[in-house]
């Protein structure tokens, strides 16, 4: 006989009221990289529709459509462009592909940086979910699905009070 399923996990913190300070406090409690997670939250809010849902696809330019996680990773690439680790990564990529062609190295470096960026975004979104700021599910070709894999893509939903706080404009006096 199997044991009953545990109740669904609830976030350790209630969704903060509609102010950025409370959001930062929730992130500081739930994340080892709260500033990075806050950047990801801001980008998700930027991509979100009026109902707070972002994804699975985002328009990246004229006629270009990207998966949400790829779009987020691309938006965050400039943060790593001056990172001291980038030079070491470039040398490692050049040694791996065995080429002195700058264009080939740049292309391989961009692909690797995007892969690392997608992993970083996934970790940040897990922190956002843990903090109770974002909900995550996966959309497939035919139906929505709670499990990832099977060619399903991430959809992130920003909680309404959080979305209002991020999108609100401060009143200048």
pLDDT digits (tens, 9 = 90+) for 130-154: 999 999 988 866 555 555 555 678 8
Q: Which residue has the tokens 């990172």?
A: 83
- Strand 134-139 with 153-158, pairing: antiparallel
SS3 164: helix
Q: What residue spans of 81-141 are helical by DSSP H?
A: 84-97, 102-130
Cβ-based burial of 93 (10 A; exposed 0-12, middle 13-18, buried ≥19)? buried
Residue 151, both tokens: 């060619």
Q: What percent of the chain has pLDDT over 90?
A: 41
Mean pLDDT, rounded, of the chain: 82
Q: Is pLDDT at 7 greater than 50 in this prediction?
A: no
pLDDT in tens, 102-130: 888 888 888 888 888 899 999 999 999 99
Provide mean pLDDT across the span 30-55. 94
């Amino acid at each position: 006989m199997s044991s009953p399923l545990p109740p669904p996990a609830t976030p350790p913190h209630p969704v903060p009221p509609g102010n950025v300070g409370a959001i930062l406090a929730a992130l500081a409690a739930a994340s080892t990289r709260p500033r990075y997670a806050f950047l990801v939250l801001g980008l998700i809010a930027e991509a979100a529709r009026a109902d707070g849902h972002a994804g699975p696809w985002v328009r990246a330019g004229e006629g270009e459509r990207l998966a949400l996680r790829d779009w987020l990773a691309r938006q965050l690439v400039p943060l790593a462009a001056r990172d001291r680790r980038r030079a070491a990564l470039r040398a490692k990529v050049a040694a791996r592909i065995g080429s002195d062609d700058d264009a080939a190295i740049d292309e391989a470096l961009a692909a690797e940086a995007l892969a690392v960026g997608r992993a970083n975004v996934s970790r940040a979104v897990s922190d956002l979910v843990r903090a109770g700021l974002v909900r995550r599910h996966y959309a497939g070709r035919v139906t929505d699905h709670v499990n990832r894999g099977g060619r399903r893509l991430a959809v992130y939903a920003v909680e309404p009070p959080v979305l209002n706080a991020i999108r609100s404009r401060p009143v200048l006096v």
